[in-house]
Structures are given as structure tokens and as C-alpha cells.
Structure 1
Amino acid sequence: MADNLKNAESSADTLVPEPERQKPLARVQAVPWMIVILLIAAVAWLGWKAFGPDELGDPIGTSLVAFEEQNALTVFSAEFAPVVSSEDSRFFGTINTRQVAVIPTRVSYSVDLSQVDRSRLDWNEQDETLTVQLPQISVGKPNLDEARAQYLREGIWISREAQDKLTRDNTQLAEREARKQAANPILLNLARDAARQAVTQNLAIPLEVAGYGDVEVVVRFDGEAGG
């Protein structure tokens, strides 16, 4: 009888629907998120203590804590493949060589959050709106991936010195071209949009956890209308 009971229990276990089996796993995966939320609440409380001990309802102080640990926030990156060429002439012009290079290059866009202080934050208590004025997007130095570069060389004979010079010249040209492409207004707008979204999330969540409710965060950049 005991064996039959065990077999029945074993059969019942195999018939448990799949969603029921996944519930414990979902609870386990939710634990890190709960820890993150508790940490955000703790950060918000520290903001009150650090920036507004006499005014417990200081949303600007809470917001500054969200920026406190971040200097430069990378918000966007773009990859280019500049096509450049350089020439070299030696032995009084008797030996001429040319090299065409395609060098994959990545450029990052960031915001300097170390410049964000109280003067760049404005809280409208009536509308429950926090306005943030950010410095302009900064375009980083192009990161050339010369390991993936492709070269096409032309010339009867290319010395080692000539090849090194051609490569150095093409590296400089590729970096210059990547900077030019990275300054494209379309890419800068994409970087600004990404920065707005990141900063809005970084501020709205701590404010909500701190008890301010569903706060509207408006992000502007220096030089924009309304800034």
C-alpha cells in the first residue's frame, strides 16, 4: 500500500503543469530585483540626510545622489568603417607607393554628470515635475580596431619603412574621418535621445521609491529651447 502511495505521488509530480514548475524559479530570479529596489530606497533616504536634513521632502537632493557616483555616463556608441588612402615617395620620386585602408572604428557618446549640481535641477512641486539641464553630449576619441583593418597596397616595391609610414598616415586619416562622421547631427540626436531616456529612468525610479509618486522628468541640454 505504501509503495502504491509513493508511485501515485511520483505520477502526480510528473503531471504538474510546466508553469507551476517555473514559479519557484521566477521567485528566485525576482530576488535580485528586490535587492536593487531596496538599495534605491536606501540611496533616496541618504539623499534626504545629505542634502536636506531640514527639509525631508527635498527631491533635488534625492536626485543629486543618483548622479553622485557617476562622472561620465556613456549613452550611445556608433561604429564606422572609414576608407582612407595615403601615398609615399622615395628615392627622389622613383619609387611611389600607395595604401588604401578600411579601418573599423567605434565612437562613444557620453554626458559629463560631474557638472550637474543644484543649479541644473528645478523642481515644480505643483506639477510634480523635475527639470534637468544637462551639458552637451561629448563625443569620445575614436577607437580604431586595426586588428580588423583591411589594406590594399599599390607599388612595385614597398620597403618596411614605407609600409610603416603608410599605416601611420592612414591611422591618422581614419581617426580624423571617424571624428567627422561621428559629428553627424543625426547621430548626435540619437545620443541625446538615449541620454534623456537613461537620465529619466535614473531619476524617476529613486523619486518614486522615495515616496514622490509618478514624477515627470524633463531633460534638456545646454542651448536647447526652454533651457
Structure 2
Amino acid sequence: MEPRINTNAPWFRPAIIGFLAICAALLVWLLWSNYTERYAVTEEDNGAAITRLISARMSGVSQLKVAELSGTVQANAEDVRGFGLLKSNQVVKMPYSVGYYVDLSKVGPGDLEWVEGSRTLIVNAPDVAVERANIDESRRSLVRTNGLIVTREAAEQLSQRTSAGAAAKVAREAQSPERLAQAREKARGVVGRTMRLPLDTLGYGDARVVVTFPIERNAQARDAVDLSRRPEDVIRERQQAR
């Protein structure tokens, strides 16, 4: 017979209430911490706001940066208020950068193939990932705002809209087929050099490394290559022969 919890026991109800209270307190603490970090203003004793590092988190990553797209973007925005009487617009130019990464943690033994005849290591890498556009608003080279009367609220809206427009424009460019193709070519060289290191260590310095991406892999191309031996088998034999 399977053991059962006696829900009629005198300790059961207080235990459940205590557990729910702990969960509620934890939720309140998380919400308050998020609010304090993002919205609360840190001030001096005299009430003046100060520049301060609010939070810092260190995390490990396995993504290899393979390319970067950078340049200058121009964005414009309009704001209309006062029943159409107060019109304003803003044009901004600022530098941007976008990184391209390959997550090497996704490359497993099944993604490495060894062709003995040509001494070639084929690396079936994951596709290049595009990071979020980084718009450096602190280095704006142009800010032109026009309007008969530009209220504080209108200025804030214009700033937000130009930032959003710039980020969207850069994201579209960074993810265009042409830019992704360029990033894959850059990634091919970086990943190839990274995967060559263990081959050089094992005495396979003359081996060729071929890096492929999902968009390039198809049944016809794979059938044309001899994939009878895996790299781990070759490495194991090499170590046993020493």
C-alpha cells in the first residue's frame, strides 16, 4: 500500500498556510527588488540623485563572437499634440553595433565528421545568432529638433521613438540575407581556427577543417562526402598508437 499524507492531521493545515505564506513573501520580495532596480532613484542624504551601479551579474557564456556589424544610423520621429496644433519632429544620428555569435555548446560528437581519405574534419555548426542592436546614444553626432513649442513630454516621446526606430532599422539590416551570409563567412574562419587547435595538438596539423551551417546542408551535398569515420574514433586510435 502506498503511503498517504494524513490531511486531517493537526499539523497539515498550518504547514500548508506556512508554505503559502513563504511563497507569497518570496514573490513580493522579487517584485520589490525588480521595482527598486529599475525604477527607484538612488539619492544622497540631501536628496540629490547620484550616479551609481545599481546591479551587476556575472554569467558564463559559450557563445563565440564571430563578426560585428557597425556604423551610423539616422532616425527621425514626429509628435503631434494640442489637437494637431503642436507639431514637432526630431532627427538623430548615432553609432551602432551588432554582434554575431555561434553557440559552440551546441556542437556535439554527432556534429563532427572525419573524412579519412582527404584528412578533413567537417564541423556541422549551428547557425549564426544575431544579438540585439546596440545603439550608442551617448555618442550622438546629430540631434535636430524642430517645432514651435516642444513640451517636455513631446521631447521624451521623440527621443523614445527615434531610439526605437533606429534599433528596428539596424535589426532589419543585421538580419538581412546579405549580412547573414557575410557573418557566416566570417564565422567559418573563426570556428575553423577554434576547431583546429585539438587537431594540431594531436599531430593533425595538415588536416583540413570544413565548417557548414544548417542552410548549407542538404542530402545531396552530404551523399557526395565519405562520412564513414567519426573524429572521436580517429583520435582514440591516435592515442592508442602512442
TM-score above 0.5:
yes
**1:125 positional shift:** 2.5
Counterpart residue identity of residue 214, structure 2 = D
Q: 1:188 aligns with which of 158, 180, 184?
A: 180
Q: 1:102 aligns with which of 70, 88, 93?
A: 93
Deviations 1:182-224 (A, max 9, x none): 1233322221111111111112232122123411111100020
Unaligned runs of 5+ in 1: 1-68
**1-structure distance, mates of 2:197, 2:126:** 22
Q: 1:88 to 1:126 in 2, by over 3 A?
A: same
**1-structure distance, mates of 2:206, 2:181:** 27
Q: 1:162 aligns with which of 148, 154, 165?
A: 154
**1-structure distance, mates of 2:129, 2:162:** 25
Which residue number in structure 2 is paired with residue 200 of structure 1?
192
Counterpart residue identity of residue 183, structure 2 = A
**2-structure distance, mates of 1:205, 1:175:** 37
Counterpart residue identity of residue 132, structure 2 = K
Unaligned runs of 5+ in 2: 1-59, 223-242
Deviations 1:39-78 (A, max 9, x none): xxxxxxxxxxxxxxxxxxxxxxxxxxxxxx9611111101
Q: Which aligned pairs between 1:23-172 and structure 2 lie closer than 5 A?
A: 71-149=62-140, 150-172=142-164
Counterpart residue identity of residue 199, structure 2 = L
Q: Determine which structure has the larger helix proportion and give its number.
A: 1
Deviations 1:160-184 (A, max 9, x none): 1110110001111100000011123
Counterpart residue identity of residue 91, structure 2 = V
SS in 2 for 1:214: coil
Scaled by the length of structure 1, what TM-score is found? 0.66
CA RMSD in angstroms comes to 1.7
**1:86 positional shift:** 1.1
**1:155 positional shift:** 0.4
Counterpart residue identity of residue 157, structure 1 = I
Kindly indicate whether residue 220 of structure 2 is the aligned counterpart of residue 222 of structure 1: no
**2-structure distance, mates of 1:167, 1:70:** 33
Which residue number in structure 2 is paired with residue 212 of structure 1?
204
Q: 1:191 to 1:140 in 2, by over 3 A?
A: same
Contact kept in structure 2, 1:70 and 1:113, CA below 8 Å: no
Counterpart residue identity of residue 222, structure 1 = P
SS in 1 for 2:216: coil
The total of aligned residue pairs comes to 159
